[in-house]
C-alpha cells in the first residue's frame, strides 16, 4: 500500500463509507471495511501532511525519447 496516492485513498475511502452507510454488510465484512477505511484515512492524512512537491523537466534524450529530469529551482536557464 506504500504507493497509494492521496486521491486513490480518498476514492477508496469514499466507496467504503458508501458501502457501510448502505448497511447491507455482515458484521464481519463491516469490521473489515471499517479497518480498511481507518487505514486509508490514516494514509491519506499522512500524504496530505508529508507530501513533497515534485517538479520535473521534460527533455528529449539522444534517441529522441522523452525523459523526465528533476528540476532544481535555481538551475533555470535564462531565456
Partner 1 sequence: MQTRQVYKVSEVTRDIKLLLENTFGQIWVEGEISNFKAHPSGHFYFSLKDENAILAGVMFARANKDLKFKLEDGQKVICFGDIGVYEPRGQYQLVIEKIQPQGVGSLQLALEQLKLKLEKEGLFDPGRKRQIPYLPRNIGLVTSSAGAALKDILKVLERRFKDTHIILNPVRVQGQGAKEEIAQAIEGLNLFNQQARPQDRIEVMIVGRGGGSIEDLWAFNEEVVARAIYNSVIPVISAVGHERDWTIADLVADLRAATPSAAAELVIPRKEDLSQRLDELTERLVNAFLEMAAGCKENMENLIRRLSLGAAHIRELNSNGLISLLNKLNLLNPAALIPRYQEKVLGLAKQIYVQTEHFLKIQQAEFLKFSSRLSDLNPLNILNRGYSVTFSQDGTVIKEASSIRPGTMIQTKVHKGEIFSKVTEVKQDG
Q: Give contact residues for partner 1 (rule: CB under 8 A).
A: 5-7, 10, 13-14, 16-17, 20-21, 23, 25, 27, 30-31, 33-34, 37-38, 41, 44-45, 47-48, 51-58, 60, 65-66, 68, 71, 73, 76-79
- Minimum Å gap between C-beta 1 and partner 1 is 15
- Minimum Å gap between C-beta 30 and partner 1 is 5
3-state secondary structure of 18: helix
C-alpha 56 chain-centroid distance:
18
- Minimum Å gap between C-beta 20 and partner 1 is 4
Q: Which among 17, 59, 22, 65 is positioned nearest to 40, based on CA atoms?
A: 17
* Whether the Cβ atoms of residue 27 and residue 20 lie closer than 8 Å to each other: no
Amino acid at each position: 500500500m506504500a504507493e497509494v496516492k492521496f486521491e486513490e485513498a480518498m476514492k477508496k475511502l469514499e466507496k467504503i463509507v458508501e458501502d457501510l452507510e448502505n448497511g447491507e454488510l455482515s458484521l464481519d465484512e463491516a469490521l473489515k471495511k471499517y479497518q480498511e477505511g481507518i487505514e486509508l484515512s490514516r494514509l491519506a492524512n499522512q500524504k496530505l501532511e508529508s507530501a513533497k512537491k515534485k517538479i520535473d523537466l521534460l527533455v528529449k534524450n539522444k534517441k529522441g525519447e522523452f525523459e523526465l529530469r528533476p528540476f532544481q529551482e535555481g538551475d533555470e536557464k535564462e531565456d
